Amino acid sequence: MSFVIVQVRDLVMRLPSGGRALTILDGVTLGVSAGEVCAVTGPSGSGKSTLLGLIAGLDRPTAGSIEVAGVELTRLGEDALARFRRETLGYVFQSFHLIPSLTAAENVAVPLEIVGVPDAPARARTLLAEVGLAARAHHHPAQLSGGEQQRVALARAVALGPRLLLADEPTGNLDSATGTQIIELLLRLNRERGSTLLLVTHDEALARHAGRVLRLRDGRLLNGGAR
């Protein structure tokens, strides 16, 4: 039996909305084994992105526990969470979230520079070549197509060799042909690095690439997610 890298228990997330508390996640329990490719699907507003964000430690749950790579996230402070993220995971967003003032290469170099990798620029260029963008290294995000921007974001997400890759609707802003290329690239990068991929999508075709599909509706998992 393989090692469980993500263990979420009884996760509840409520957010204030118009003076009332809106329940986004309602008692979610799930486990993801190391090396697994797992997809979470559900209609929009079902709480998928919030679940992924909580696993990345981007926000604090109302109740429940989240253990990633043996670390209980709910006990960490903000800066410890930042450290945890750079040591453990890579994150791919639906809308890419590249830093507009930086070139493609500089965007990829940012995580490397934060931890002080000595040859960050060279490593960033290698990573860009790996995603097929060697020629676009000096372009700014505004000069790149959506697909190209997402490739840069992928290169940035895997730059520090994370054990866990989180992808939030990575093809949501792309046409289907480009989306297919991106998902293939994502799966390849994940496979080559032996990392774990947790993918959020509402696209059933994309979900079929995953070894296991969890369905979320109204903040609850329909099929058991526990490991």
Contact between 129 and other proteins (CB under 8 A)?
A: no
* Furthest CA-CA distance within the chain: 51
Query: Cβ of residue 2: shortest distance to other proteins, in angstroms?
Result: 26
Site for other proteins in 147-176 (CB under 8 A): 156, 168
Instruction: Give 199's strand partners.
Output: 39, 167
Query: Are 215 and 223 in contact, with CB atoms under 8 Å apart?
Result: yes
Q: Which of residues 6 and 98 has its CB atom nearest to other proteins in the complex? A: 98
Q: Figure out which of the listed residues 16, 18, 19, 100 binds other proteins, where binding follows CB under 8 A.
A: 100
Query: Are 66 and 198 in contact, with CB atoms under 8 Å apart?
Result: no
Site for other proteins in 59-78 (CB under 8 A): 59, 78
Contact between 49 and other proteins (CB under 8 A)?
A: yes
Instruction: Give 63's strand partners.
Output: 12
Q: Which of residues 63 and 115 has its CB atom nearest to other proteins in the complex? A: 115
Binding mask 77-96 for other proteins (x = CB under 8 A): -xx-xxxxxxx---x-x-x-
Q: Figure out which of the listed residues 99, 135, 205, 226 binds other proteins, where binding follows CB under 8 A.
A: 99
Contact between 46 and other proteins (CB under 8 A)?
A: no
The candidate with the shortest Cα–Cα distance to 166, out of 51, 61, 28, is 51
Sequence-ordered alpha helix ranges (H) in the chain: 48-55, 78-88, 104-115, 120-130, 146-158, 176-193, 204-207
The candidate with the shortest Cα–Cα distance to 30, out of 205, 145, 196, is 196
Using CB under 8 A as the criterion, which residues of the chain lie in contact with other proteins when the complex forms?
Answer: 49-50, 53, 56, 58-59, 78-79, 81-87, 91, 93, 95, 97-102, 106, 110-111, 113-116, 140, 156, 168
